[in-house]
Structure 1
Amino acid sequence: MSTVLIIGAGGVGNVVARKCVMNPQVFTRVVLASRTLSKCEEIQRAVGTEKLEVAQVDADNVPELVALIRKVQPDLVLNVALPYQDLTIMDACLETGVDYLDTANYEPKDNPVFEYKYQWAYRERYEKRGIMALLGSGFDPGVTNVFCAYAQQYLFDEIHYVDILDCNGGDHGLPFATNFNPEINIREITANGRYWEDGEWKITPPLSESFEYDFEEVGPKRMYLLYHEELESLCRNIKGLKRIRFYMSFGEQYLTHLRVLQNVGMTSIEPIEFQGQQIVPLQFLKAVLPDPGDLGPLTKGKTNIGCNIEGIKDGKVKRVRIYNVCDHQDAYREVGSQAISYTTGVPAVIGAMLMVQKIWHRAGVFNMEEFDAKPFMELLNQQGLPWHIKEY
């Protein structure tokens, strides 16, 4: 018997709520909360009022969160709200003594740093409270961390090189739209690239390094080097690592639009005055762009996300590729969301399943690769994200 409280009712929240309801053997009670109650009620109507409870909460307000947690009395709070709200939700879990899980690391609104230090700082307090926080249980971060952990634990004696490749081969037919929160997405892409090599971080200008890669079931796509948060924990936890990088695919049309928006100042996070009010250009842009949650029925094609890993096994060089392919239309038919939301939401549910069943459970704050990868890998196959291994 376990109760899960989900906070956030966007595209990922929709997937998480539906998949939790699909696993009543683990989650006997599912509660979905958001600042916008109508979003929760829309998901509730889709899955059935008897299967999903809803509530309203401001995730920026710790006392409100504490009151809701005490009312619901969940075994786990599953955070799929905005990354800006990670710390307030962690504070509320600390105060109420409830386990915590999220899919993306905390990010200050005024400084897009993408660092785990803010959440790692909670380790000692969570340990003393006897509760657990699992960070980044999405796909990347999340599944990619588990792929690396699986390789370290079961396939290699030593891992030297990792390239994480995130390819979205989907097409929604719109001139310009982001597949997840536009504000977070654009901040991520317009930041400097960064990768870890020989014990230090190397910096590259935004989108300055790229190459073409031929993806299984998708075909050739141009990949661009970005900084992504899982690099920060993996470079600490994968022993013997010499280099780790992250690449994401972008079409030329998308990048052309992005360059124009940057050139005219629409991607800035610095407030400007407009008609007597302070507005943030990027937040205004988010308001006029299509909602990623509405892209499900439009998007066709597949994603292919995985890790290319090189290291040593039994004294010989070994190279493997571990990856997943997800079809946008298959995801939409199952849960009413496109594959980007699906590939983030399903791993969040798997992480929650392992935590409430005490398969993954220790007091403190942890990243995905710090646990036995095998139970998570088995559930990926069962919950709709089957993986494949190629050895070169």
Structure 2
Amino acid sequence: MGKVLVIGCGGVASVAIHKCVQNHEVFNEICIASRTKSKCDKLKEVLEKQYGNVCKITTAQVDANSVEQLVTLMKEVKPDVVLNLALPYQDLTIMDACLECRVSYVDTANYEPEDTAKFEYKWQWEYRERFEKAGITALLGSGFDPGVTGVFSAYALKHEFDEINYIDILDCNAGDHGYPFATNFNPEINIREVSAKGSYWEDGRWVETEPMEIKRVYDFPEVGPKDMYLLHHEELESLGINIPGIKRIRFFMTFGESYLRHLKCLENVGMTSIEPIEFEGKQIVPLQFLKAVLPDPASLGPRTVGKTNIGCIFQGKKDGKDKTYYLYNVCDHQECYKEVGSQAISYTTGVPAMIGAMLVMNGTWKKPGVYNIEEFDPDPFMEALNKWGLPWQESHNPALVD
């Protein structure tokens, strides 16, 4: 049993904290910290009303951009692990504070500079030696994608293949919230991700594409046929290095016509730009202003219906023969909302965040250094997915993406 410090109090953090409370045999103390303490206090009230006093919950105010404030908080709380569910811009300050306090670190998304629409692992991988010397673990990308997709890849390699040559990661959200345009997670991060150029990993190098240039239609189990588009995604970078035999990895995400039409219009008028402009004597970032006028993703839960299907299609060899294999999870938006008050997008990231923190804290995955999730034994994580709300399914004869 131990103590977790969760930094962040948005939709994903709320799910992860719900799951930590449900898993109170492991997490007997939880500290929720955010820039806005009132959000943490409100969540604490909800948790204590729903679950009773099964574990000790405290709250704190912290600016995750400030190493000094983070260090002060960590020294006061003395957590066994820090679960970073703040913004990707804040990964490095939180890692710096963890180093100073010698506390293990878990996140769900890799570092992204605030002033550049670019995300990659190089900044966090540079911490490897320092985390090794400090004797603490940094687990990177313990969400769904990245996260479960990496665990799926490690599991497939361990149990189904001698070598994996092709991976297609398919992320389908067939949920309907009724709005003409809204994002299912942080609008600023979501729109930066979608409007960036696409890319995939092939033969040891990146192949770049224009945004939304490559489209495929895939018939998803329990969902049906959906349009999906090739995007750049961070797990391609680590899987290309950590899964031997890889020739190509691609990432596809589904989008509806209404979403794409609105996004294109917003791009055309400059509302997705991250370059500051002057407005009435003040510097504002158009994308941040757009975020302020869009529906809060946390408000979408009650009105979102439908399912998600996220998984990986693998092609490779076993005993000298060609083989295909599909691992995936199907999640229902309304079932997630009934359980934890959030829609499936937050749920599918928040559950793996709790599992990663659990495996680091209980020592199953604890070793000094900085690691991507596929570098650990996948079996305990796969077992935990079935136990904590994200049961996986498999197919040995899936339809392939051309």
> Structure 2 regions of 5+ residues with no counterpart?
398-402
Letter paired with 2:16: V
CA shift digits 1:284-338 (9 cap, x unpaired): 0000000001111010000000000000001100001000000001110110000
Name the SS of the counterpart of 1:48 in structure 2: helix
For residues 114-125 of structure 1, the aligned pairs below 5 Å read 114-125=119-130
- Select which of 74, 97, 100 maps to 1:69: 74
Residue 187 in 1 paired to residue 196 in 2?
A: no
Per the normalisation by structure 1, the TM-score is: 0.99
1:31 equivalent to 2:50? Answer no
Partner amino acid for 2:171? D
Q: For 1:282 and 1:175, how far apart are their aligned partners in 2?
A: 18
Q: Give the count of matched residue pairs.
A: 392
Any idea what SS the aligned residue of 1:248 has? strand
In 2, distance between residues paired with 1:356 and 1:28? 12
State the AA in 2 paired with 1:322. L
Shift of 1:154: 1.1
- Which stretches of structure 1, 4 residues or longer, exceed 3 Å deviation after superposition? none
Q: Provide the residue aligned with 1:247 in structure 2.
A: 252
Residue 136 of structure 1 pairs with residue 141 of structure 2? yes
Separation in structure 2 between the aligned mates of residue 307 and residue 359 of structure 1, nearest angstrom: 25
Alignment of 1:293-372 (within 5 A): 293-372=298-377
State the alpha-carbon separation in 2 of the partners of residues 133 and 240 from structure 1: 26
Q: Which AA in structure 2 matches 1:194?
A: S
**Offset of residue 24 of structure 1:** 1.0
How far residue 156 of structure 1 moved from its aligned partner, in angstroms, is 0.1
Which residue, out of 72, 86, 89, partners 2:91?
A: 86
**Does the residue aligned with 2:313 lie in a helix, a strand or coil?**
strand
SS of residue paired to 2:170 = strand
| Counterpart secondary structure, 1:303 | strand
Equivalent-residue separation in structure 1 for 2:76 and 2:204 (angstroms): 47
* Deviation per residue, 1:133-171 (Å, 9 max, x gap): 000000000000000010111110010000000000100
Counterpart of 1:152 in structure 2 is 157
Structure 1 residues 46-55 or 179-188, which shifts more?
46-55
Q: CA deviation at 1:42?
A: 1.3
Corresponding residue of 1:213: 218
Counterpart residue number, 2:6? 6
**Candidates 280, 285, 288, aligned match of 2:290:** 285
Calculate the aligned-residue CA RMSD, in Å. Answer: 0.7
Secondary structure in 2 matching 1:297: helix
User: Is 1:272 aligned to residue 284 of structure 2?
Assistant: no
Q: CA deviation at 1:74?
A: 0.3
**2:15, 2:201 → 1: CA distance?**
33
Matched, 1:19 2:25: no
Give the whole-Å Cα distance in 2 for the aligned partners of 1:194 and 1:232. Answer: 10
Show the 5 A alignment for 1:35-54: 35-48=35-48, 50=53, 51=55, 52-54=57-59
**CA deviation digits over 1:249-302, x for unaligned, max 9?**
000000000000000000000000000000000000000000001111010000
d(CA) in 2 for partners of 1:190 and 1:46? 36
- Distance in 2 between the 1:102 and 1:109 partners? 17
**Is the counterpart of residue 237 in structure 1 residue 245 in structure 2?**
no
Look up the match of 1:172.
Answer: 177
Cα deviation for residue 53 of structure 1 reads: 1.2
Cα drift, residue 41 of structure 1: 1.1
| Separation in structure 2 between the aligned mates of residue 108 and residue 34 of structure 1, nearest angstrom | 20
